[in-house]
Every structure is written in C-alpha cells, then in structure tokens.
Amino acid sequence: MRGFTLSDFETMLWAVQWTATLVIIALALGGPLGLLMAMMRTSRNPVLNGIALVILQIVQGVPLLGMLMFFYFGVPVFLGIKVPALISVSIAFTVFAAAFLGEIWRGGIQAVHTNQSEAAACLGLTRWQSFRHVIAPQAFRIALPATVGFLVQLIKNTSLASVVGFVELARAGQLASAATFAPLTSYACVSAIYFAICFPLTQWSRSLEKKLHVVR
C-alpha cells in the first residue's frame, strides 16, 4: 500500500502514447477504408452499395465493446491462433472508424448538389474525374467539422481497449488506482488528460463549423 505520487501521473502520461497509437492506426487504416465505404454507399452499383450497407449496419448495431471482445477473444477461438492485443484492438478500432467515417463522408458527398456532378459530366469529365476534382473537395469541406468531432469520439473510445488488458491511458489509470487505492485521484487524472486532449479538438471542430458556415 502506497500513496498516489507524481510518478503515477507520469505513468499515465506515458500510456497516452498507446492511446495515440490506437488512434493513429484507426485513422491510417480506417480512413482509406472509410473513403471506400463512402464511395460504395454513393455508388450507382447496387451490389457495392448493398455490401457497404450490410457492413455498416453490423458495425452500427454492435457495441464497440462487443467488437473488441470479438476480435480479442472470439477470433482466436475460431481461427485457433493467439492474436496480440495490439493487433486485435487495432482491427476493432479500424473497423469502427471505417464505418463511421464512411457514413460521415457519405453525408458530405451527398450534400454536394447533384448540379455539380451534372455540370462536370456535361463538360466531358469521367465519374472519377468528377469525384476527384469537383465533388470530393467540396464534400471534404462540408464533412470536416463532423470528422474532427468523430476523432474526439475515437480518442475517448480507445479507453474501451482497457477491457482486454491493453495498457493505454484508461488502463494505466485502473492500474494506478489498484496500486494506490486512490481511485478518485487516479480517475480524475485520467479524465483530466482526456479532456486536455479532446477540448482543443472540439474547439477546433466548432471554429471550423463557423468558418465553413460563413463561406456557404
């Protein structure tokens, strides 16, 4: 039994790197997949559209906690291989980010008026050229505030990785709490760190929203 010291706080700060790692992996892999999802969902091909919709509804209908459990405990049972926590947790967050970013970006794409793609088509652009040069840049601006908003959700949700024993910020807080019997101090520190990361992002998202509103 020992008291809560500065070194406990430092351990938490150290664990932030694993929170950051999860976020970066989820964005780096989930981002491109999300773009693919958004393109499938806005595609005229009913098969691609249907596949994306099914994936989306599964991910939306299952709690993130459930997905983490599935990829950490479930997949090894089915496949008979032991997967390191970092990998299974990364897969869960990647799938989560892909589905939700895909929906946010689909909304952005559909918010660009069909006039724009019509004008592009009438100038002889291909569907891809139209998407790349006309639709996507406008959709990106429209979806940027919501995308940053999702980033905040993602950062906070990485705390769920603690349930499979992955040591990131929240898990570091649990460990500190268990070692020092000072849950209030420990979790207050954890919350303060999350807040310090997320608050500037929400502010940024808000200012983006205002700025883009002026332009429109």
Partner 1 sequence: MSFVDIKNVRKSFANVEVLKGVTINVEKGEIVTIIGRSGSGKSTLLRCINGLESIDDGEIRINGEVVHDKATDLRRLREKVGIVFQQFNLFPHMTVEQNITLAPTLTKRVAKGEAARKLAHEVLSRVGLEQKIDAYPEQLSGGQQQRVAIARCLAMGPELMLFDEVTSALDPELVGEVLKVMEDLARQGMTMILVTHEMNFARNVASKIVFMHAGKVHEQGAPAALFANPATPELRNFISSTH
The pair of structure tokens assigned to 82 is 């032991």
Tokens of 11: 């351990």
Quote the least distance from Cβ 162 to partner 1, whole Å: 42
Q: Which stretch binds partner 1 (CB under 8 A): 29-37, 133-141, 183-191, 192-200?
A: 133-141
Q: Dig out the tokens for 96 from the structure.
A: 């989560």
Q: Does 111 bind partner 1 (CB under 8 A)?
A: no
By CB under 8 A, tell whether 43 contacts partner 1. no
Distance CA 171, CA 121 (A): 53
Among 9-17, 26-34, 77-85, 122-130, the segment contacting partner 1 (CB under 8 A)? 122-130
Which of 5, 17, 60, 129 is close enough to bind partner 1 by CB under 8 A? 129
**CB closer to partner 1 out of 47 and 215:** 215
Find the part of the chain contacting partner 1 (CB under 8 A) among 41-49, 80-88, 126-134, 191-199.
126-134
| 133 interacts with partner 1 by CB under 8 A | yes
Q: How large is the angle between the packed helices 183-215 and 136-157, nearest 10 degrees?
A: 170
The tokens describing 62, both together, are: 């299952």
Helix axes 46-61, 6-41, angle to 10 degrees: 150
As measured in angstroms, the least distance from the Cβ of 116 to partner 1 is 7
Do 34 and 93 meet the contact criterion of CB atoms below 8 Å apart? no
| 46 contacts partner 1 (rule: CB under 8 A) | no
Residue 101 in tokens:
């970013």
Residues contacting residue 80 through CB under 8 Å, at least 6 positions apart: none
CA-closest candidate to residue 145, choices 204, 215, 214: 204
The site string for partner 1 over 70-109 (x = CB under 8 A, - otherwise) reads: ----------------------------------------
Shortest spacing between CB 53 and partner 1, in angstroms:
25
Nearest alpha-carbon partner for 197 in 141, 139, 142, 158: 158
Asked if 110 touches partner 1 (CB under 8 A), the answer is no
User: Does 121 contact partner 1 by CB under 8 A?
Assistant: yes
For binding to partner 1 (CB under 8 A), which residues are involved? 115-116, 118-126, 129, 133-134, 137-138, 141, 215
